[in-house]
Amino acid sequence: MELISKSLKMQPESGLEFVSSTFIRQFGSQDGGWPRLYQAPGRINIIGEHTDYNGGFVFPATIDLYTWIAARPRNDGLLKVYECNARQLHSLDLKHLERGEKGQPVEYLKGVTWALQQDGLEPGGCDVAITGNIPLGGGLSSSASLELALSTALLDCSGIRLDRSRLALLCQRAEVEFVGAQCGIMDQYTIALAHPGHAMMLDCRNLDFDHVAIPPGISFLVVHSGVSHRVSTGSYSLRRDECEEAVRLLGQSIPDITCLRDLSQDQLEANRNLLGSVLFQRCFHVVTENQRVGEAVTALRNTDLQQLGSLVNQSHNSLRDDFEVSCSELDRLVDIALGCEGVLGSRMMGAGFGGCTINIVEPEAVADAVARIGVEYASITGHVPWMHVAAAADAVKRIR
């Protein structure tokens, strides 16, 4: 499913205009009236990687890259979805949803509807047009953005109101149980409940959260490695399996452990031999990353950007060496960025094995960093990376 805008520079106004005009060309405007318009942002994660499915802490923020949807109710129980960029139409019977090939993008459309139905909700049929400018496979939550945008549109067009926390959980269920991507709750919860200009400190076990204002003296530069990843593929699932196996083994000496969130560093050290070297490394990353999240929240509140940058650097080192989810392209981007004046921290972001880096940059240094990263990475890989200076955006919403 080609949801991404071909230009990658489409602004919200032009994106909404494009999806609306494409909707009219595809579905018409006479019988059912004009479409309703919705947008859902992507997200970055400042720090806290591979901690969400371990019951830990994350520190994400939504960003000004979006999925845009135009939708209008229909009365025949069909969901007709037009992909604006791929020029492809899907027709789904809401009463007979069948799983297709695992991991295919159209499965997200089915999965969202399935999850709503499983929760006792019965959204009606809709005509839908979709576009967006979130890079696919970049670790910027393009799938969760699609899920939240579509579910919001389906419920709104059916006159159904739903608590946003519940909606986020249903979208996660769609991705895990229907699509088969074993994601945590971070992406959906952030996109459902974000505040513009703020990051979100989220406890992924009990879903407590706090909005933390982002001070003006910081910029988040996102750089795409050019290597795409898919959460539904094997490497990500293997890391989850390793964490679950570690919890099982640790239960022999720590009876009340339910997830790696419960593990202290002292307990980890005491059980080094029980775990073996690989599982010890995986646990060490999760335990120390949870600690770094708390320290990063304090650093951002105090506008201590040097400390925040240092924590981000430590996070990348641990993801590379302990959790082993980086790749040579991401490591090169980090090395190049840290050689730039005014870049305070850099790390891989997302599940790993490709995708983007996030960089903590002093605002006055952004232009020079973009230029240098572009030139040096192109000299190594042969292509100039896509880059975006992210601003913390609003949560999923109906525009009009």
Question: What was the pLDDT predicted at 6?
Answer: 36
- Domain range annotation of the chain: 12-215
Question: What was the pLDDT predicted at 7?
Answer: 36
Percentage of the chain beyond pLDDT 90 is 82
Give residue 32's pLDDT band: very low, low, confident or very high (50, 70, 90).
low
Q: Could you give the angle at the alpha carbon of 155 between the alpha carbons of 151 and 157, nearest 5°?
A: 115
Query: Has residue 138 got a pLDDT over 90?
Result: no
> What is the C-alpha separation between 318 and 283, in angstroms, rounded?
11
Mean pLDDT of the chain: 92
pLDDT in tens, 85-137: 888 899 999 999 888 877 677 899 999 999 999 999 999 999 999 999 998 87
Question: What was the pLDDT predicted at 8?
Answer: 46
Active-site positions read 187
Query: Has residue 296 got a pLDDT over 60?
Result: yes
Give residue 4's pLDDT band: very low, low, confident or very high (50, 70, 90).
very low
Average pLDDT (13-20) is 89
Whose CA is closest to 73, among 32, 132, 133, 40? Answer: 32
Question: What was the pLDDT predicted at 31?
Answer: 64
Give the predicted TM-score (pTM) of the model. Answer: 0.92
Question: Which numeric CATH code is attached to 12-215?
Answer: 3.30.230.10
Cβ-Cβ contacts under 8 Å for 291 (sequence gap 6 or more): 265
Query: Has residue 12 got a pLDDT over 90?
Result: no
Query: Has residue 9 got a pLDDT over 60?
Result: no
Instruction: Tokens for 250, please give them.
Output: 């640790």
Compute the half-sphere exposure of residue 248: CA atoms within 13 Å on the CB side of its CA. Answer: 6
Question: What was the pLDDT predicted at 1?
Answer: 38
Whose CA is closest to 315, among 328, 326, 299? Answer: 326
pLDDT in tens, 210-260: 999 999 889 999 999 999 865 545 688 899 999 999 999 999 999 999 999
Question: What was the pLDDT predicted at 14?
Answer: 87
Query: Has residue 400 got a pLDDT over 90?
Result: no
Percentage of the chain beyond pLDDT 70 is 94
Question: What was the pLDDT predicted at 5?
Answer: 38
Q: Are the C-beta atoms of residues 387 and 356 closer than 8 Å to each other?
A: no
Average pLDDT (192-206) is 97
Q: Which one-letter amino acid corresponds to residue 371? A: A
> Which of these ranges, 4-8, 67-71, 172-176, 200-204, has the smallest mean pLDDT?
4-8
Question: What was the pLDDT predicted at 233?
Answer: 54
